[in-house]
A and B are shown apart, each in its own frame.
Chain A
């Protein structure tokens, strides 16, 4: 037991801490505030406290718990909203009302609630860590697999199906040495250590998001990493919400790290109302929320992304495809900087600590497509998508640069697109995805062999538009040939009719891959036919104003069930109207 000698904001220094270990969780003062040991010198420890430290002074007691910062893993995580150190916010609300008071202790997993445990292993089975011994229907869309804790090995000596709380013993294990170990449905894992797996594979399946600009031009893979940097107002959060809603994954862990309280409330209120297009169940049933809003203590912000990714790894270990969506990693880096400053460490760039890059790399490296532990060789994937909020929208700042060195996909948001209300405001000229080639076989097999050709053509047309626009700025649009004018029209059509997507419209917010392919097909069909018509003398001004183009523009809001017939009708109309123009030119 130690005594406080110094308090400076969230940093507390205590002496008499010789019994504590590095990274131990400690309880500070009478209010038993939760803290974590960052540094130890002799018997004095520097502690970052996860709660507001007002009213704490020298002399107050510090008690170590002897364990590192850990999360509780078990049924009941889904549909829940936690703070940065996994305290359930709804539980806290029941205890202390609408504002968060200090020192509240509520267990992360409900100790009272009973779950129906169905044993899948039998007495006498040899099991190792990661083996599934039973299942619980956690939500109507998700089966929670109860696994043998990592590091354990032995023979099951008893196992019972039935209704249990997370703390009840559901099975016992006899180890090789003959010791008996009780297994419950809940286990603990330290957040700063990645959960182990058997083997990692390079990702090769796309994470379909229903967002056209992402799926076609800058796809991310299941088990991949992506970053969305952008200035404020460029639609980062709307993008992150759209990804959390429509991504083709089994589970989503959404980390609101130092962002607005109302945004988390929005997720919390909206997700239960929305239907997952894959399961037909509510989206909340596959979501875990971690909320450390910007008015909550800054130290817990640092912990929140680890809490989130550890929960995600746990579900990955069950063999699920999980996405971690962190908004925003810049706030996490700022929390790191604040603690580093108070520890009086030598600052690196812009005051960020020198270990910023390695910490970021450690976080993103926990993503991947893996063979899980356990004897059945099941595969799980963890994809990590982080928003970055560069100051002043300047992506040369340290957090963005450190992130870009690690992630494989970069969705650069552009405020000038946002001002034009072009959403998602992903700039097609500077964004990239290093997964494009690796994902090609999958798209060729599951959507169309021409997928890559089409998406490549989108990129190329937009590039071409950019260089043509340079000329237009100098000499005006009239100086361009009809061919080039058509390229500009086609690029406009790609931008307006295909890339622009309204996240708040029922039909448009999510587009299935085959419909995306069809949409690109329509744009290019028009361009190809128009090019022939121009060669035969059609007038480009009239061509640009053909009524069929408006119909192409509205194609995005055609319901999925009707899109094929509508596409056929549009193609027919297109041919007819273009032929009309050619006839007119000949007369």
Chain B
């Protein structure tokens, strides 16, 4: 074993060791994994630094310690790594992100290093990027309505503070425009508390990242935004840490600086693929479609970091974006995400082809937390009833339209014909609002009533009759 230097590490919370040693005993590098032999005192999940012969430093993490051998996972590419000449140093702590309120307005890479021209960040503290589980007994149930200005979200799939609501998209669909629209328009009515956006680009193209950045710049939101950028050209393996870096920054802003943070992460599919790469390199028994069996747990440790908790005013609302391979909702990534998140917003290629923007697939979209965020005092008393009525009427209208395709319009009952008409109007007016129209919740509800009045009043089975009497549009009755 060759000792290069000995020095005292910076103080860290959990793992304290007195000495840091460097090893030149790299035995094997295979894809993102590296085996180092003859080490001593190395702990599981510790951060390591590899120094290349040219002085460049790359980072890695301990995946397994077996006696005096350690298996590490590289966070960066292994290109140029020389087994004989490179040195590995274990730092005695996990992967950490230095955080500070001054991160707002700055751009970082996937490993949390500033990549803009700004001044160096003087950290307030360093936080482990894995976070710790939130005690369910210490959570507040999310119930504050966020007005996004998008009818299909506000009216039908209401977003609340502290919720995690993913957008399931497909390649070529305008999910970025929708996410930017939400980031631009989202507000909690009657409150002027501090808000911030944390944006994590995970393996997306320069153009897509640039779209978000220029949109944030245009609206001035950039000053309230922290960006973590891992582009498609960056090392795939860095993608594993990118979302965790972003969430650590978000947690700091939300729970220590009491801000309301909106986290947008795109694209989770790239993240899962990086995870699969590591798992395959470790020769683990694969689960469905080659993704590791622990994909659910791994995704959950990220998504569950959203929420509100006691002892802090702030909140983390999360909008992860993922592209469904082949638009297949049962693919493991959207499937497992759907099991963890509190609903999902699904974009539809059919609606996109029709030119309806945002191309929301209304029926399978869902917000699980809507029921506690709507109603009298939050939005309006008729919200719940109209929401259910719009859903079921649209579903029936779509069924009628399908039947019409097969059998022709004449085969429908007069009532079903009305439903078909309703479904068309609903798509054209309610769904198709464009990416730049910002509707208040009242406008959304009024529009809902207007559309429902296409149907006979006796069909309003899901709305309290007193509310029908109060809100039913006068002129058509």
Q: Footprint of B on A, CB under 8 Å? A: 5-9, 52-59, 81, 89-90, 92-93, 97-101, 231-233, 237, 256, 258, 260-262, 264-266, 268-269, 291, 293-298, 331, 334-335, 337-338, 341, 347, 350-351, 389, 391-394, 415, 418-422, 472-473, 475-478, 496, 502, 504, 541, 545, 547, 550, 553-554
Contacts and interface: CB of A to CB of B under 8 A. Distances in A.
B344 interface: yes
Contacts of A81: 136-137
A89 B305 contact: no
Given A55-B44, A265-B140, A391 B135 contact: no
Contacts of B133: 99-100, 261, 293, 295-297
B136 to A, nearest CB: 4
B338 interface: yes
Given A99-B133, A550-B458, A93 B304 contact: no
Contacts of B296: 258, 294, 331, 334
B43 A55 contact: yes
B136 A291 contact: yes
Contact of B342 (A55, A262, A264, A550): A262
Contacts of A57: 41-44, 46, 65
Residue picked from A261, A341, A478, most chain B C-beta under 10 Å = A261
B43 A56 contact: yes
B137 A54 contact: no
A265 B136 contact: yes
A553 B392 CA distance: 15
Given A260-B340, A504-B371, A7 B64 contact: yes
Interface in B127-141: 128, 130-141
B369 interface: yes
B304 A293 contact: yes
B420 to A, nearest CB: 14
Closest CB pairs A-B (n = 5): A392-B330, A476-B411, A294-B300, A54-B45, A295-B304
A291 B139 CA distance: 13
A550 B311 contact: no
A59 B136 contact: no
Interface string B445-469: 0000000000000100100010000
Nearest to A301: B297
Max chain B C-beta neighbours (<10 A), residue from A7, A55, A99: A55
Contacts of A334: 293-294, 296-297
A393 B330 contact: yes
Contacts of A337: 287, 293
Given A54-B46, A54-B128, A262-B142, 5 more contacts: A55-B94, A99-B309, A261-B307, A420-B363, A477-B413
Contacts of B301: 294-295
A351 B287 contact: yes
Nearest to A505: B384
A341 B284 contact: yes
B83 interface: no
Contacts of A101: 132
A123 B360 CA distance: 74
Given A260-B340, A293-B133, A54 B300 contact: no
Interface of B: 14-15, 41-46, 63-68, 94, 128, 130-142, 162, 255, 284-288, 293-294, 296-297, 300-301, 303-305, 307, 309-312, 329-332, 335-336, 338-340, 342-344, 363-364, 366, 368-369, 371, 384, 388, 391-392, 395-396, 403, 406-407, 411-413, 415, 458, 461, 465
Contacts of B288: 350, 391-392
A232 B142 contact: no
B403 A473 contact: yes
B345 to A, nearest CB: 12
A114 to B, nearest CB: 23
Given A261-B304, A350-B287, A394 B330 contact: yes
Contact of B14 (A55, A260, A472): A55
B335 A392 contact: yes
Nearest to B66: A6
B46, B255, B330, B339 pick with most chain A CB within 10 angstroms: B339
A53 B371 contact: no
Contact of B136 (A261, A393, A553): A261
Nearest to A479: B411
A237 B329 CA distance: 20
A233 B343 contact: yes
A405 B368 CA distance: 31
B300 A258 contact: yes
Given A81-B136, A341-B284, A8 B330 contact: no
Nearest to B361: A419
Contacts of A52: 130, 132
Contacts of B139: 98, 261-262, 264-265
Contacts of A478: 411
16 contacts: A8-B66, A54-B44, A55-B45, A57-B46, A98-B139, A98-B255, A231-B335, A258-B296, A262-B369, A334-B296, A389-B339, A391-B288, A391-B332, A420-B395, A421-B391, A554-B461
Given A57-B42, A476-B407, A351 B285 contact: yes
Given A55-B46, A57-B65, A233 B284 contact: no
Given A93-B138, A294-B297, A415-B364, A260 B304 contact: yes
Contacts of A260: 304, 340, 342
B330 A391 contact: yes
B62 to A, nearest CB: 8
A562 to B, nearest CB: 16
Nearest to A264: B136
A335 B311 CA distance: 32
Contacts of B391: 420-421
Nearest to A7: B44
A8 B282 CA distance: 12
Contacts of A502: 388
A99 B458 contact: no
A512 B459 CA distance: 27
A502 B396 CA distance: 19
A419 B371 CA distance: 16
Contacts of A393: 330, 335
A81 B41 CA distance: 38
A89 B137 contact: yes
Nearest to A351: B285
A347 B67 contact: no
Contacts of B287: 337, 350-351
A45 to B, nearest CB: 15
A580 B130 CA distance: 72
B15 A55 contact: yes
B135 A100 contact: yes
A262 B142 CA distance: 8
Nearest to A352: B293
Given A6-B64, A334-B296, A550 B137 contact: no
Contacts of A53: 44-45
Contacts of A268: 136-137
A331 B296 CA distance: 9
A296 B134 CA distance: 8
Contacts of B330: 231, 391-394
A338 B413 contact: no
A341 B285 contact: yes
A351 B413 CA distance: 51
A351 B132 CA distance: 28
A253 B411 CA distance: 52
Contact of B364 (A297, A419, A475): A419
Nearest to B338: A232
Contact of A98 (B41, B134, B300, B465): B134
A233 B94 CA distance: 36
Given A89-B137, A262-B369, A98 B297 contact: no
A233 B137 contact: no
Contacts of A547: 458
